[in-house]
Amino acid sequence: MAGAGGDKPLAKAGPSPLSRVLRISQLDAFELDAALEQLVWSQFTQCFQHFKPGLLTPVEPELKALLQLLLWRFTVYSNSATVGQSMLNIRYRNALLPGQKYRSMSWQQKYWFALLTVGEKWFTERSHSLFLNHPAESNVRKAHKVLIVLMGLSKVASLVNFLVFLQRGTFPTLLERLLGVRPVFIRPQGPRDINFQYLNRELLWHGFAEFLIFLLPLINTWKLKGSLTSLFTSRNNQRGTESSEETCLNECAICGEWPTMPHSVGCNHVFCYYCLKSNVIADEDFTCPKCGADAGMMEIVRLHVGRELDES
């Protein structure tokens, strides 16, 4: 109960909604944004997979810029946050305005954000074709050299900015530093408690995965596959009737298809040249997967169809 002096009850303590975002969270947001752009572009190109090849190549930079503008319209322009930041409970705030109260990005910052991200990617991709179409003109060569210098300076500035970000944890990109925008949490972040059983299970699977990574290169999978195939092959195909002999000559003993450039290793079975050669290279002790015969000298085989044509 409040006292006579009008004392107010203490508010529940909690983290500030403008608390600094972890470095790893900011970098993860960039990775998610890049993955989303690649996914959208791949889904868009699949719509034209049955059209003439190279149909989108002349206008590919413009199409990518259009898709990126659509993403910007429904992410940064609407919510002051990219898709990756929204998934991580992050959004941009206007760092040029002081105070602990959240202030969204201004419309100038949003438009400059689109210009310096979408416009820069479009100009970089389109400039290559522009300079290739006019390589002999002196003005074009000078502009190309100036552009190379500017891009080099921009990369150096981005590298310096990233090193500063690793030290201070703010402004991971040069664009954010120039625009004066910083990512903050949308809602207060609570403590992350990890169950001991979950942690123990993760450590167990991690150790098992490392063991498999060490063990699998030591296993001759080609030899194992051939042994299993020969184990489950019936005896009739090894001794065989006339029909089984025709099957042996008309099917590759490895891939089961009509043998291309048929070769033999000394048994009654034939192989595609590339199937046999790749297996022999991978396994020096390669044996026939049908009958277990050791692979000797590779010999060219004339199929039954070829013999019938010769006799006729």
The pLDDT assigned to 310 comes to 45
Sketch the domain layout of the chain as residue ranges. Answer: 23-185, 221-311
Beta bridge partners, 271, equal 263
C-alpha distances in angstroms, 53 versus 20, 65, 132, 261, 281?
48, 21, 22, 32, 36
In terms of CATH architecture, what is 221-311? 2-Layer Sandwich (3.30)
Which among 221, 250, 223 is positioned nearest to 237, based on CA atoms? 250
Q: How far, in Å, CA of 156 to CA of 70, rounded?
A: 30
The pLDDT assigned to 282 comes to 76
The pLDDT assigned to 233 comes to 61
CB 109 within 8 A of CB 180: yes
Residue-wise pLDDT tens for the chain (312 aa)? 444 444 444 344 333 446 678 888 899 999 999 999 999 999 999 888 888 888 888 888 899 999 999 999 999 999 889 999 888 888 898 888 877 777 888 899 999 999 999 988 888 888 777 766 665 566 777 877 888 888 889 999 999 999 999 888 889 999 999 998 988 887 766 666 667 777 788 888 888 888 888 887 777 776 677 667 666 665 445 444 444 455 567 788 888 788 888 888 878 788 888 888 888 887 777 778 777 777 777 788 775 544 443 444
| CA 110-116-120 angle, 5° bins | 150
Beta strand pairing status for 299-300 and 90-94? unpaired
The pLDDT assigned to 288 comes to 80
Which among 25, 184, 178 is positioned nearest to 112, based on CA atoms? 178
pTM, 2 dp: 0.56
- Give the orientation angle of helix 273-282 with respect to helix 221-231, to 10 degrees: 120
C-alpha distances in angstroms, 79 versus 30, 105, 186, 278?
17, 9, 11, 56
The pLDDT assigned to 191 comes to 61
